[in-house]
């Protein structure tokens, strides 16, 4: 083999390794936020009780956990309540952090009015 062919192969192998290494790292994507704009006070109305939707906020993003089994009745295993900003709790107390929010519908964002 000539040196140019070996160099091209080495570059191809290195590029493939970098691409595959990037694929194995699970970094939550920043969700696209459209729709509702609620203040923290307005978010409290979405507590999952008495037929209300169950929304939580994390990092300013509002997630609809109404149909998430673990959030039945607006409570997450009796530890966390819907209708609140749970950024601190999810990042510091939750064993899985924000990873479980992947796939949960995003319905809006928190605003200061």
Query: In whole angstroms, what is the distance from residue 27 CA to residue 45 CA?
Result: 31
| DSSP bridge pairs for 84 | 56
Q: What share of the chain is helix, strand, coil (3-state, %, to 5)?
A: 40, 20, 40
More confident residue, 20 or 78: 78
Q: Any idea what DSSP says for residue 74?
A: G
Torsion of CA 62, 66, 72, 75, to 10 degrees: 20
More confident residue, 30 or 91: 91
Q: Are 70 and 76 in contact (CB under 8 A)?
A: yes
Q: Give the pLDDT confidence of 23-75 residue by residue, as tens digits.
A: 433 444 566 666 899 999 999 999 999 999 999 999 999 999 999 999 999 99
pLDDT at 108 over 90: yes
- With bands split at pLDDT 50, 70 and 90, how would you rate the model's confidence at 12? low
């Amino acid at each position: 083999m000539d040196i140019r062919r070996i160099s091209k192969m080495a570059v191809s192998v290195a590029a493939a390794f970098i691409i595959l290494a990037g694929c194995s790292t699970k970094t939550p994507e920043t969700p696209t936020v459209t729709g509702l704009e609620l203040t923290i006070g307005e978010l409290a109305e979405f507590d999952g009780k008495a037929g209300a939707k169950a929304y939580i906020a994390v990092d300013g993003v509002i997630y609809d956990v109404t149909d998430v089994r673990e959030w039945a009745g607006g409570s997450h295993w009796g530890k966390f309540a819907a209708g609140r900003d749970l950024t601190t709790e999810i990042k510091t107390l939750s064993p899985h952090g924000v990873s479980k929010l992947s796939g949960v519908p995003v319905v809006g964002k928190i605003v200061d009015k």
